[in-house]
Amino acid sequence: MKVETIAIHAGNHIDPTSRAVVQPIVTATTFERGDDGGFPGGHIYSRASNPNRASLENVLAKLEGGEEAAAFSSGNAAGMSVFQSLEPGNHIIAPDDMYHGLRNQLKTLFAGILEFDFVNVNDSTVLRSHIKPNTKLIWLETPSNPLLKVTDIKMVVAIAAGHDIKVVCDNTFATPLCQQPLALGADMVMHSTTKYFGGHSDLMGGALITAKKSDWWQKIRNVQTMGGAIPSPTDCYYLTRSIKTLPYRMRGHVKNAQLLAEYLDNHDKIEKVLYPGLQSHPQYEIAKEQMTGFGAVLSFLLKGGEDEAKRVVNALQLFTQATSLGGVESLVEHRASVEGPDTQTPLNLLRVSVGLEHIDDLIADMAQALG
């Protein structure tokens, strides 16, 4: 089935008792045993599983083309579950511009437990040279945040294949509508479902989707259910509901982003636009090869430096100055301020999450703010 159909049907079933067309929210924490002591409803206790979470996990797995998915209370909880599934002393290679929240998590919570190197994973020589006997995981994030660097997933998978190394890809910026890392050979996909899956800036969630069930996946399931960083049934319901429109929303986001990127690229106050859909993007060819859409986050660098970047943020009316991305409303952010002192982000960079407003209104607001 096609993705639009999966998005609508794979996370829903008609309730057999009430015949409600939309699957109801099951708030119960516990489920009745059958006379034989079994669990005829398939659920025991809601930390372990819940009907709404099961439906959400089903649609997530189908959308990414994986065997199974696990839903979490946030993207960071999903990422942390991967790190917790490793053995003490294992080594991780991660991108040098990894999402700062997960980078800080590794550096703060896993220091002394895991080893990690943040490197330019796009350079195969650099990547190879950092592989050690205890390397168990290569973490990818493509396109990356906020520099929109694109990693050749197949290249990394080929390097990892020669060793006993898993490849996990944070696919938050692309969504399965724009990129399917499992089809390119990655072992697992991670999402902050807070972003495009939720799509309305009103719920937090995370997900892991595995290509294949394995002992490693079972360990991640244990981290999920024993650790308990699970989403509530209500959050699962709203996420499942939002996913029904994800394909159409994504198409609108991507179209707007391309037009805004082209507008900014031709503006004389702008030094550079970072967007994988522009031919000027250094990895445009890789992006074209492995993505079916170029996503809807873009960054641009202003000629006038940090002061000008901060002036423009405040002059924008329709773009709200706020962190995060993937909602229907457009957001803008001076990223270096958010990321703190060890940031690699240029001080004159603004990151935009392009929303679903009409492109003419977005461009008009940019035009007045740039002056």
Q: Can you give the binding site for ligand PLP, defined by CB under 6 A?
A: 74-76, 99, 101-102, 141, 145, 170, 172-173, 192, 194-195, 204, 206
Residue carrying structure tokens 């724009």: 178
Tokens encoding 89: 């002393």
Q: Exactly one of 97, 152, 170, 187 is catalytic; name it.
A: 170
Under a CB-based contact definition with an 8 Å cutoff, are residues 317 and 360 in contact?
no
| Amino acid letter, residue 340 | G
Q: Is 99 a catalytic residue?
A: yes
The smaller minimum CB distance to ligand PLP, of residues 145 and 180, is found at 145
* Catalytic-role residue among 195, 244, 310, 351: 195
- Nearest residue (beta carbon) to ligand PLP: 75
The minimum distance between CB 141 and ligand PLP, in angstroms, equals 6
Q: Which two tokens stand for residue 304?
A: 């006038």
Q: Which is nearer to ligand PLP, 102 or 223 (CB)?
A: 102
Catalytic residue at 335? no
Give me the least distance between CB of 343 and ligand PLP, in Å please: 15
Annotated catalytic, 123?
Answer: no
Tokens 């603004």, residue?
Answer: 350
Amino acid identity of 172? T
The residues facing 139 across adjacent strands are: 168
- Residue number with CB closer to ligand PLP (173 or 319): 173
Indicate the pairing of strand 206-210 with strand 188-192.
antiparallel
Q: Of the two residues 12 and 194, which places its CB atom closer to ligand PLP in the complex?
A: 194
Alpha carbons 193 and 239: distance in angstroms, whole number: 8
Q: What are the E-state strand segments in 58-148?
A: 68-72, 91-95, 115-119, 135-141
Tokens, residue 57: 């996990």
Please identify, using beta-carbon distances, which residue of 43 and 195 lies nearer to ligand PLP: 195
Residue 108: DSSP 8-state? H
- Beta-carbon contacts of 39 under 8 Å, excluding residues fewer than 6 positions away, are 31, 33
User: Would you call 171 helix, strand, or coil by DSSP?
Assistant: coil
Note if 265 is an active site residue: no
Name the minimum Å distance from CB 136 to ligand PLP. 20
Our CB check for ligand PLP shows the closer of 103 and 310 to be 103
* Residue 4 amino acid letter: E
- Of 265, 252, 264, 249, nearest in space to 358 by CA: 252
What whole-number distance in Å separates Cα of residue 195 and Cα of residue 316?
22
Q: Which is nearer to ligand PLP, 74 or 245 (CB)?
A: 74
Least distance from ligand PLP to the Cβ atom of residue 298, Å: 14
Q: Tell me how far, at minimum, the Cβ of 328 lies from ligand PLP, in Å.
A: 16
**CA-wise closest residue to 62 among 122, 3, 120, 125:** 3
User: What is the distance of C-alpha 217 from the center of its chain?
Assistant: 19
Active site positions, annotated: 47, 99, 170, 195
